[in-house]
Structure 1
Amino acid sequence: MTTPSGAHPDEPHRQGLAQRLNGLRAGVLGANDGIVSTAAVVVGVAGATSEVAPVLVAGMAALVGGAVSMALGEYVSVSSQRDSEHALIEKERRELAEAPDAEFTELVGLYEARGLSTETATRVATELTASDALKAHLSVELNIDADDVVSPWTAAFASAVAFTVGALLPLLTILLLPVEGRVAATFAAVLLALAVTGYVAAWIGGARRGRAVVRMVVGGALALGATYVVGSLFGGLAA
């Protein structure tokens, strides 16, 4: 698929957009979850004990369990979306085969609803139907591109990898630094990483980046603070 004439290079006219955005979305969400959930676990355990082994075991369990959970969740979710899109595509293909005239009239009406005159809408519908009737109907009626249906495997893989990468940051930080400063350093590393992922997520979605960064940092700080307090309380009780 070629880029349309006159298209701006920074606008999403190219084929595979749904695949790329789906992978990016899953990756960013996976990284966020990996950072926050694993950091919350290791900080909580570090609040309860100064020993390294419990922190390592808890952190690795959080990393592996979280990565598998994220991958499965993405796979199931995107598989459902893909199945729905395939069902809609088959339904439209069947309707075109059984009632082409009615479908053509519907296509003309849809273009008229978008502001085209009857003459222009008819001409556009005629040309697009001659080129690829199914593609024309899917695009206008359902906003689906039959060649760009999202892949559950792409989403699952991106989510699992991103979760693992995100989880490694707090895990390695708290394990490699001295006991005296490991919690504070983990807080700092996690909040900085969340600021970056919040910025990237906003950039992908075209949202306000400052607001997204603040949401991520504040949410992460609350999660870490809460688990550290809980860990400290239970650690004190156990002692």
Structure 2
Amino acid sequence: MTEPTHAEAHEGALGSRLNWLRAAVLGANDGIVSTAGLVVGVAGATDDRSVLLTAGLAGLLAGSMSMAAGEYVSVSTQRDSEKAALALERRELSEEPEAELDELTELLEDRGLSEEVAREAAVQLTERDALKAHARVELGIDPDELTNPWHAAWASFLAFTVGALLPLLAIVLPPVSWRLPVTVASVLVALAGTGWSSARLGSAAPGRAVLRNVAGGALAMGVTYAVGALLGAAGV
């Protein structure tokens, strides 16, 4: 009798990967919507290709840098908090090892182990690596895989850039008469894709997510185009 294979990712690794994928999808979505709104708004005021390209590139660079900076600051704060929590746990283990062992036992009991089994598991985990045991069970932190702000910043930068390139290329490459319909159609299709992807990553029904995404993108483009057209007609 052969043993069943187990190819599933561990919970921590799976959760980490899903978080990165979700961040990438949302970053690309932001790039699509913000850049599409910008270039469509400018297209409402002018059909000058160089103006559209300049506006689109400016929006792409500003948005991607803003996303990267925001992610770096946010994840750096999270990493600092994780380090502070680990430092406090390290000090408590040094000063009150027995109390910490009791605490780990109680935490394992709360997860469904009997008192005897929880105590034995706590002792073995403490003997192997007390800090890692408390970090994972008590704090939900893996000391060997703390969040990396540079990874988050680059991921956000690239995701936003990839998303922003779609409406930028769609507005400058086609002939003048085709620019707006090509841009609107490609953006709505891309938003349907990111909405579906975000829903699947969250194990939710994709229908509503796709509808919200497409409706939001269409509204953003409609509003910015109307404003651009009004400003262009007024000669602003």
Calculate the TM-score normalised by the size of structure 1. 0.91
Q: What residue number does 2:49 align with? A: 52
CA contact (8 A) 1:72 1:156 kept: yes
Write the letter of the residue equivalent to 2:7.
Answer: P
Q: What residue number does 2:72 align with? A: 75
Q: What residue number does 1:104 align with? A: 101
Q: What residue number does 1:178 align with? A: 175
Q: What residue number does 2:212 align with? A: 215
Flag the 1:236–1:7 CA change in 2: closer, same or farther, 3 A. farther
Q: CA deviation at 1:8?
A: 4.3
Q: Residues 95-127 of structure 1, C-alpha deviation per residue, up to 9 Å, x if partnerless? A: 111110000011111122223221121111112
Tell me the distance in 2 between the aligned counterparts of 1:101 and 1:220.
Answer: 57
Write the letter of the residue equivalent to 2:128.
Answer: S
Which ranges of structure 1 fall in alignment gaps of 5 or more residues?
Answer: none
Write the letter of the residue equivalent to 2:26.
Answer: L
1:33 aligns with 2:61: no
Tell me the distance in 2 between the aligned counterparts of 1:159 and 1:90.
Answer: 29
Calculate the TM-score normalised by the size of structure 2. 0.92
RMSD: 2.0
Write the letter of the residue equivalent to 2:68.
Answer: A
Q: CA deviation at 1:210?
A: 2.5
Flag the 1:131–1:160 CA change in 2: closer, same or farther, 3 A. same
Q: CA deviation at 1:26?
A: 2.9
1:122 aligns with 2:119: yes
Count how many residue pairs are aligned between Structure 1 and Structure 2.
Answer: 234
Q: CA deviation at 1:16?
A: 8.3
Q: What residue number does 2:202 align with? A: 205
Q: CA deviation at 1:211?
A: 2.4
Greater shift, 204-213 or 28-37, is seen at 204-213
Q: What residue number does 1:164 align with? A: 161
Q: What residue number does 2:21 align with? A: 24
Q: Residues 31-81 of structure 1, C-alpha deviation per residue, up to 9 Å, x if partnerless? A: 111111111000000011122122111111101111111110110111111
Flag the 1:62–1:174 CA change in 2: closer, same or farther, 3 A. same
CA contact (8 A) 1:17 1:148 kept: no
